[in-house]
Amino acid sequence: MNIAVLGAQWGDEGKGKIVDLLTPNFSIVARYQGGHNAGHTVYAGGRKFVLRLLPSGILHDGITCVIGNGVVVDPQALFAEIDELAKAGISIGDRLIVSDKAHLILPYHRELDLLSEARRGERRIGTTSRGIGPAYEDKIARRGVRVGDMANTDTLSSAIRHNVEARNRLIGDSVMDADQVLADLRAAWTRMAPWVADVSLFLSRARADGRSIMFEGAQGTLLDIDHGTYPYVTSSNATIGGVCTGLGLPPRAIDGVLGVAKAYTTRVGEGPLPTELTGDLGNRLRETGQEFGAVTGRPRRCGWYDAVALRYAVRVNGLDALALTKLDVLDGMEELQICTSYRCHGKTLTEFPGEIAQLGACEPVYESLPGWTHPTAGARRYADLPKAAQGYIARLEELTGVPAAVLSTGSAREDTIIRDESVAAAWFGK
């Protein structure tokens, strides 16, 4: 059984925890897109780990972790993460496979990221400035440098010299030394080479051997380059299609799709957010939910659960079920709102609009539900949830059309309810 776990909202849904929970039931965890802008927070054995590039499965002994061709790799960021884990006693050994076709993030990409955000001024995207966007730009413009290119001194040298010259022409106030970039890459290759392989081949052989794979998404559906709220999106396909293109696997390799969503909504960076709460309620969600970026520390914008956006995520990804996280953050709120449709220029919309100006003009139409006083925090059985929380979950399921198979009531692995009768019970080995 191969399952994809991906974000159903604007990222930061708590995928790290859910992937970590599921991992023991799989043999391989594979990332298919994004870079080290992802920031998955996992609490394991009382310790906090923030994983950026490595799949969260790396925290489990014996699990092979894969970085697919759809991911962009900054070698220094990868090594820093591996070293950090080594300090905590977690060794990677031969448990990592990096695609030879993954594109490299190079020093000039980071500079170009900062420059392009500065030039955008008011129209800035709110990127993490790690060079991820420019690395994908180079990939599409067919001047990118791939991990496997590091093995070939001539190919590497001519590509780097060409790109560094272009960068020096563009950024006039400083000069980057191509020889230094090449020397750093040669050193990086010495360390990285043992992990580099043809990921498509590795995974297809693994499937033939009956090994099960979890596909781990980064960011979320509404940040997808094609299906998200363009242009306020990330540079890769975070939605389900990214699994095939980002790993070199056929669609039939995916047996199930679990969408991760918060019991409310957040987004970081710019762009429309129809259910955004700017006053006390927004602050309260942010403080209680600790809604500050795992990588950048930026405060996240918070709002009510948006069932229109969730229905869209169900449609685009073919979600079989949801893992609903952070239910505990709503504890103690008197009344809760769920956005059931939008009002836009006098019309009611029940489908998520594809055009950003239209989304920006949408007002949420809310349905009110009673809150609960008895806490859900730390609940581990559905029956222990207050009736109002059960009612809230049931209504979300009705409105989104998929079961909330997994409920998360805290950041620890144990603070989770896996509903026995649900499709996801088998995925969780229940």
Nearer to ligand GDP, 97 or 238 (CB): 238
* Cβ nearer to ligand GDP, comparing 7 with 403: 7
Q: What's the min distance (Å) between Cβ of 410 and ligand GDP?
A: 5
Instruction: Name which of residues 4 to 43 contact ligand GDP (CB under 6 A).
Output: 7, 12-17, 39-41, 43
Are the C-beta atoms of residues 413 and 404 closer than 8 Å to each other?
A: no
Residue 12 designated active-site: yes
Angle at CA 34, nearest 5°, toward 425 and 327?
40
- Nearest-angstrom CA–CA distance, 424 and 404: 9
Task: Specify the residue, 39 or 248, whose C-beta has the smaller distance to ligand GDP.
Answer: 39
CB of 294 to ligand GDP, least distance (A): 4
Q: Which is nearer to ligand GDP, 111 or 331 (CB)?
A: 331
Whether 13 contacts 269, CB under 8 Å: no
- The answer to whether 240 and 4 have CB atoms below 8 angstroms apart is yes
Residue 256's DSSP bridge partners are 3
Nearer to ligand GDP, 319 or 329 (CB): 329
Residue of 12, 20, 74, 138 with catalytic role? 12
Question: Annotated catalytic residue: which of 20, 36, 40, 113?
Answer: 40
What tokens does 317 get? 């990804």
d(CA 430, CA 423): 10
| Number of residues counted as binding ligand GDP (CB under 6 A) | 20
Residues 315 and 289: beta-carbon distance below 8 Å: no
Return the range that interacts with ligand GDP (CB under 6 A); candidates 113-121, 199-207, 250-258, 403-411. Answer: 403-411
Q: Which stretch binds ligand GDP (CB under 6 A): 139-147, 267-275, 390-398, 408-416?
A: 408-416
* CB of 268 closer than 8 Å to CB of 11: yes
Pick the binder of ligand GDP from 358, 411, 413, 425 (CB under 6 A).
Answer: 411
Q: Is 40 a catalytic residue?
A: yes
Shortest CB 162 distance to ligand GDP, Å: 35
By CB under 6 A, what part of segment 305-364 binds ligand GDP?
325-326, 328-329
Which of 57, 396, 410, 428 binds ligand GDP (CB under 6 A)? It is 410
354 or 378: CB nearest ligand GDP: 378
231 preceded by a cis bond (ω within 30 of 0): yes
Closest approach of Cβ 150 to ligand GDP, in Å? 29
- Find the shortest distance in angstroms from Cβ 333 to ligand GDP: 14
Contact status, residue 221 vs residue 9, Cβ threshold 8 Å: yes
Residues from 186 through 215 that contact ligand GDP (CB under 6 A): none
CB of 24 to ligand GDP, least distance (A): 18
Question: 149: alpha, beta or left, given left = phi > 0 and alpha = psi -120 to 50?
Answer: alpha
| Least gap, CB of 200 to ligand GDP (angstroms) | 26
* Interface segment toward ligand GDP; rule CB under 6 A; list 134-142, 196-204, 392-400, 406-414: 406-414
Site map 259..298 versus ligand GDP, x via CB under 6 A? -----------------------------------x----
Of 277, 342, 338, 77, nearest to 184 by C-alpha is: 77
Which tokens in the block code for residue 225?
């380059």
Nearer to ligand GDP, 39 or 259 (CB): 39
Residue 403 C-beta: closest distance to ligand GDP, Å: 17
Examine residue 409 and tell whether it contacts ligand GDP (CB under 6 A): yes
CB contact at 8 A, 36 and 430: no
Site of interaction with ligand GDP (CB under 6 A)? 7, 12-17, 39-41, 43, 294, 325-326, 328-329, 408-411
Which are the catalytic amino acids? Answer: 12, 40
